[in-house]
């Protein structure tokens, strides 16, 4: 399956105030000066949605957020103690007070108050055992008690935001009940739940922390603070030995709506699935219709339809909601048909758009799964005789910039090489029926038509340019 991805002219998140009401959209008329100031400064490692449904970007130069007008960046400045402790941001979450907790790869933990602009730093102190175990932090997550669980290059940390004190869980291979390896994946928190009705007094279920480490898949009992490790093995049960430190590998970890936890195994095809109810791990080894296995995923995402998306190095795979069908989704840029490779991360926003970032991109791409309901519309090629686009001489296929339906059922397509009027018709495998699926070039210009200069009036086949 080919999925066409769009690169927006600027990073534009969507803000939703209430269900069904959208107060922001994919704006294509963002001021060019804003784009120019920010475009080459953003290489996204992760996406994050805050409590106000703004989309944040965890980048190699700090944090960026789109506020509806421009990209606002929170940076690190060594000369300013009230800035991020490091530009190498790894992950972020937001607590109930609105404070952003930010891990960095070489500067410890930051607490950012967006209202005041204040930033507090929490670092590793060799002489203080209640400080972080390392300044080289990775993913973090918050449990129901308000503690922050933070992975690092040297063990796990349970951080108390109220006191600033940390309980360390350092790797002790071979020692029962202890953490066995260093964290590699996002952290999953399973809250403890009360099971009233099972007995007169009621029983409580202990909460757990789950993470993939250099030793395998590990589970922490939040009541006893004891760890249980499920060693990494291949499909034959033979242990998989990681590299010397294994810390350059990011392992996808995802809990689906059924409560099952999905993960990959480095250098192995297929997925492992952990069932918290039974405490068992099984292999999921389904393949695509043409027999292609699932490679090791960097990111595993469950979308709002219950499907699993797997972000691998050069491929995307998708598993159906009933887990019976595996598809290989070839990501293709809609602008030039280029197959996208060197994939970094994947994210679903509040509108259901799937965002994708590549190592070579400075801005993310997005895919709207709703487009799968409609066939692709091939556009005619234009002869660029006016010479307005020296980089696209001769016969060129236009790039769509804006779509606008009118009251007569026509779809007006604004492109970089001209204006097209299209009459959609019902699905038809043979030649087009009269009056259906007709495409007519209305206007060709040596410069692109801006959507802000076009308006479709109710009169049939009439367009006004101003």
pLDDT given for residue 429 in this prediction? 42
- Cβ count within 10 A of residue 47: 19
The pLDDT of residue 95: 92
pLDDT by residue (tens digit) across 285-328? Answer: 999 999 999 999 989 999 999 999 998 888 889 999 999 999 99
Residue 126 structural domain: 2-373
Chain mean pLDDT for the chain: 75
Tokens linked to 153 = 């290059």
Burial of 174 (0-12, 13-18, 19+ CB in 10 A): exposed
Do 213 and 161 have their domain in common?
yes
CB 22 within 8 A of CB 386: no
Do residues 416 and 319 both lie within one domain? Answer: no
Confidence band, pLDDT 50/70/90 cuts, at residue 57: confident
Helix-, strand-, coil-residue percentages of the chain, each rounded to 5: 5, 40, 55
* More confident call, 134 vs 43: 134
Q: Single out the residue of 359, 218, 190, 349 nearest to residue 277, CA to CA.
A: 190
Question: What DSSP designation does 36 have?
Answer: H
Residue that terminates a domain, selected from 333, 350, 373: 373
Q: What are phi and psi of 99, to 5 degrees?
A: -70, 135
Distances, alpha carbon 102 to alpha carbons 49, 121, 187, 209, 394, in Å: 14, 10, 14, 19, 50
Poorest-pLDDT segment among 70-74, 307-311, 329-333, 395-399: 395-399
Q: How many domains does the chain have?
A: 2
The DSSP bridge partners found for residue 382 are 396
Same structural domain, 413 and 366: no
Are residues 403 and 452 both part of a single domain?
yes
Give yes or no: residues 367 and 391 share one domain.
no
Rounded Cα distance, 218 and 201, in Å: 31
Q: Give the gyration radius of the chain's Cα atoms.
A: 25
- Of 373, 399, 428, which closes a domain? 373
pTM of the predicted protein model: 0.71
Does residue 12 share a domain with residue 82?
yes
DSSP summary character for residue 391? T
pLDDT of residue 424: 65
pLDDT score recorded for residue 33: 25
């Amino acid at each position: 399956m080919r999925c066409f991805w769009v690169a927006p002219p600027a990073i534009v998140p969507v803000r939703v105030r209430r269900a069904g009401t959208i107060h922001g959209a994919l704006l294509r008329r963002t001021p060019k000066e804003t784009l120019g100031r920010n475009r080459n400064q953003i290489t996204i490692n992760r996406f994050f949605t805050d409590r106000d449904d703004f989309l944040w970007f965890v980048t190699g130069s700090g944090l960026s957020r789109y506020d509806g007008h421009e990209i606002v960046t929170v940076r690190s400045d060594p000369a300013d103690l009230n800035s991020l402790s490091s530009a190498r941001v790894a992950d972020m979450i937001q607590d109930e007070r609105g404070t952003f907790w930010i891990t960095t790869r070489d500067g410890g933990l930051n607490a950012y108050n967006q209202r005041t602009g204040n930033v507090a730093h929490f670092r590793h102190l060799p002489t203080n055992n209640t400080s972080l175990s390392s300044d080289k932090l990775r993913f973090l997550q918050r449990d129901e008690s308000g503690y922050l669980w933070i992975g690092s290059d040297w063990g796990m940390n349970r951080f108390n935001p109220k006191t600033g004190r940390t309980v360390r869980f350092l790797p002790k291979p071979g020692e029962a009940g202890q953490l066995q390896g260093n964290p590699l994946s996002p952290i999953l928190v399973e809250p403890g739940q009360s099971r009233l009705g099972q007995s007169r007094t009621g029983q409580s279920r202990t909460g757990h922390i789950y993470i993939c480490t250099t030793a395998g898949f590990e589970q922490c009992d939040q009541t006893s603070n004891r760890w249980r490790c499920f060693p990494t093995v291949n499909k034959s049960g033979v242990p998989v030995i990681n590299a010397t430190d294994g810390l350059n590998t990011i392992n996808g970890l995802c809990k689906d709506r059924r409560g099952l936890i999905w993960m990959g195994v480095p250098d192995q095809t297929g997925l492992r699935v952990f069932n918290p109810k039974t405490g068992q791990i099984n292999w999921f080894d389904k393949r695509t219709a043409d027999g292609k296995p699932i490679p090791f995923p960097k990111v595993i995402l469950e979308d709002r339809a219950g499907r699993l998306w797997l972000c691998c190095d050069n491929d995307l795979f998708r598993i159906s909601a009933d887990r019976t069908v595996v598809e290989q989704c070839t990501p293709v840029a809609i602008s030039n048909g280029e197959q996208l490779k060197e994939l970094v991360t994947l994210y679903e926003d509040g509108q259901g758009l799937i965002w994708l970032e590549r190592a070579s991109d400075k801005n993310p791409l997005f895919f709207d799964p709703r487009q799968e309901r409609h066939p692709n519309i091939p556009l005619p090629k234009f002869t660029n005789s006016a010479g307005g686009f020296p980089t696209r001489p001769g016969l060129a296929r236009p790039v769509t910039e804006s779509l606008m339906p009118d009251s007569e059922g026509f779809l007006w397509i604004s492109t970089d090489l001209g204006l097209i009027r299209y009459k959609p018709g019902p699905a038809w495998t043979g030649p087009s029926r009269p009056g259906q699926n007709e495409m007519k070039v209305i206007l060709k210009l040596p410069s692109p038509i801006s959507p802000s200069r076009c308006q479709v009036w109710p009169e049939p086949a009439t367009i006004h340019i101003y």
